[in-house]
Amino acid sequence: MPRAIEIHEPAEITSPVVFASPHSGRVYPADMMARAQVDGQVLRSSEDAYIDLLLGAAPAFGAPFVTTEVPRAYVDFNRAADELDPALIEGAPRAGLNPRIASGLGVLARVVSNGRAIYRGKLPLAEAERRIARYWVPYHAGLGALIEAQRARFGQVLLCDMHSMPHEALSGYTARGGARPDIVVGDRWGASASGGVVEQIEEVLREAGFRVARNAPFAGAYVTQRYGRPSQGMHAVQIEIDRALYLDERRVEPLPDFEGFRQLMARVIGQLAALPLAPELDTGAPDLAAE
């Protein structure tokens, strides 16, 4: 069975930054495969494949990073535990106006890319509760404890929640005549991180040669909503990397120059880990859910 959480810490923590990859797990449990009506390659299309490998340099720069073996299609750590999809889970309460659930991407996903249904029929509520207790709860307990420890140690903490986005997700930019971004930084429209911190992040990314956009089309989801409290010294951003930069999306395999991209990202991680989260930075953003 997959491990719910893996925390990689340096010998000495010298950075107030925490890096996390909640969607790069690729150990598919047998019970899921027995119920699935799509093959493993289709399931893997929902992964932020190999983002965990791109974060491997973080401890060398004094920063911890968090990952998991649990696939996003099995349990999604970027969703609230109560985001249960009644179209998938027998006995789940009817959801309100929640676009993530409506699209089939609740805490237990109903679909993968292109809206393909994962399972034949529904899952029992007891199965959803078992997955949440076994995987979701320990992941967030571990991540939350690490973030609190970082804030206690440094006075402030920055969570960089790292993801990858399908190349086609950015097609709207070129359709409107705009430059397609390589990376989207989401701060929930200013609610999950101070403007000064986000500007520093964007500067690091641009200096590395990336085209950067903010909040569109990805502003951040549950993780940034839960842990982003800038007025309390807790900054959280969701960083989405275009998969086409390092991944063969059809095969879900690294491109031939993956190692070169990994080295570029290692330099970026080093610079992000060194960001000065000084108390005098603007931390006046409201603690609001800016979905």
What angle, 0 to 180 degrees and rounded to 10, lies between the N-to-C axes of helices 195-207 and 258-273? 150
What pLDDT, on a 0 to 100 scale, did the predictor assign at position 177? 63
Q: What is the pLDDT of residues 160-199, one digit of tens each?
A: 999 999 998 877 766 566 688 999 999 999 999 999 999 9
Q: What is the pLDDT of residues 23-59, one digit of tens each?
A: 999 999 999 999 999 999 999 999 999 999 999 999 9
Q: Cβ contacts of residue 227 below 8 Å, gap of 6+?
A: 143, 144, 147, 159, 192, 234, 236
CA proximity to 221, closest of 49, 79, 104: 79
Indicate if the pLDDT at residue 278 is higher than 70: no
Average pLDDT over all residues of the chain = 92
Q: What is the pLDDT of residues 209-243, one digit of tens each?
A: 999 999 989 999 999 999 999 999 999 999 999 99
What pLDDT, on a 0 to 100 scale, did the predictor assign at position 287? 34
Phi–psi pair at 236, nearest 5 degrees: -140, 130
Whether the Cβ atoms of residue 197 and residue 158 lie closer than 8 Å to each other: yes
Indicate if the pLDDT at residue 288 is higher than 50: no
What pLDDT, on a 0 to 100 scale, did the predictor assign at position 113? 83
Token pair in block for residue 84: 């249960």
Q: Cβ contacts of residue 136 below 8 Å, gap of 6+?
A: 4, 75, 77, 81, 107
Indicate if the pLDDT at residue 266 is higher than 50: yes
Q: What is the pLDDT of residues 7-25, one digit of tens each?
A: 999 999 999 999 999 999 9
Identity of the residue numbered 203: E
**Residues pairing with 242 in the sheet:** 165
DSSP codes, the chain = ---S-EEE--SS---SEEEE-TT------HHHHHHBSS-HHHHHTTS-TTHHHHTTTGGGGT--EEE-SS-TTT--TTS-TT---TTTEETPPPP-S-HHHHTTBSSSBSEEGGGEE-BSSPEEHHHHHHHIIIIIHHHHHHHHHHHHHHHHHHS-EEEEEEEEE-GGGGHHHHHTTPPPPSEEEE-TTTTSS-HHHHHHHHHHHHHTT--EEESSS----HHHHHH-BGGGTEEEEEEEEEGGGTEETTTTEE-TTHHHHHHHHHHHHHHHHT----TTS----------
**Residues pairing with 184 in the sheet:** 213, 240
Whether the Cβ atoms of residue 58 and residue 11 lie closer than 8 Å to each other: no
Indicate if the pLDDT at residue 280 is higher than 50: no
Say which range, 98-112, 157-171, 266-280, has the weakest mean pLDDT: 266-280
Q: What is the pTM of this model?
A: 0.93
What pLDDT, on a 0 to 100 scale, did the predictor assign at position 114? 81
What pLDDT, on a 0 to 100 scale, did the predictor assign at position 244? 96
What pLDDT, on a 0 to 100 scale, did the predictor assign at position 25? 98
d(CA 67, CA 54): 11
What pLDDT, on a 0 to 100 scale, did the predictor assign at position 174? 61
Label residue 277 by pLDDT band (50, 70, 90).
confident
CA proximity to 185, closest of 164, 160, 162, 215: 215
Average pLDDT over residues 258-262: 98
What pLDDT, on a 0 to 100 scale, did the predictor assign at position 282? 42
What pLDDT, on a 0 to 100 scale, did the predictor assign at position 286? 37
Q: What is the pLDDT of residues 67-80, one digit of tens each?
A: 999 999 999 999 99
Average pLDDT over residues 149-163: 98
Q: Cβ contacts of residue 263 below 8 Å, gap of 6+?
A: none
